[in-house]
Chains A and B, each alone.
Chain A
Amino acid sequence: EAGVVQSPRYKIIEKKQPVAFWCNPISGHNTLYWYRQNLGQGPELLIRYENEEAVDDSQLPKDRFSAERLKGVDSTLKIQPAELGDSAVYLCASSLDVGSDTQYFGPGTRLTVL
């Protein structure tokens, strides 16, 4: 069984440029999470989806971040415009459903904003 897939693995951009990250969860997993992990810290939740509905986006900086999960499968996280402080690893995770606690993480996208 394939795990959570993310692309790209690395991205370097100039500040003020847009950037997008893509995530494909484990097949059959209804719950999808986007986390941001700063160096030396634990993952911090940005947004959680149940199927195509965003049920927890309280930590998402909505002025520049947006996310979508069309059809309740793949998801895209976008930053526009990027700032220097956005440099981090962006992790996607999925779990079977809201009643299943175990989250499976993707390899992450390492974003560097210059």
Chain B
Amino acid sequence: GENVEQHPSTLSVQEGDSAVIKCTYSDSASNYFPWYKQELGKRPQLIIDIRSNVGEKKDQRIAVTLNKTAKHFSLHITETQPEDSAVYFCAASKGNAGKSTFGDGTTLTVKP
């Protein structure tokens, strides 16, 4: 089955700096890669996603890049703010098969 590894497990940055979280996946058939933000005690919420026919996607301060050859994808957050502090999860799925395999999460702390 699919295996998703996520790094780093914790990340601390100063407000205004950029943060990068990386994930690798094992199943070359995976074609959908969402990123979720989970604040303490709350539900995971989709913040951005990318499909395998696209190499990069951007939404304001958040961007995701995908390298299908290397089987890795990354989340980039620019101009970080304290409210960006949360746990971020990546996932990989085979689209229509519906099943997502999640990474173990990255705890991002943005220090004011």
Contacts and interface: CB of A to CB of B under 8 A. Distances in A.
B91 A42 contact: yes
Contacts of A99: 95-96
Sort chain B's interface into a size bin: 20 to 34
B43 A106 contact: yes
Given A56-B98, A98-B98, A101-B95, A41 B104 contact: yes
A42 B102 contact: yes
A105 B37 CA distance: 11
17 contacts: A4-B43, A40-B104, A42-B4, A42-B6, A42-B89, A42-B91, A42-B102, A43-B44, A43-B89, A45-B100, A48-B99, A56-B99, A99-B95, A99-B96, A101-B34, A102-B34, A105-B43
Interface of B: 4, 6, 32, 34, 36, 42-46, 49, 89, 91, 93, 95-105
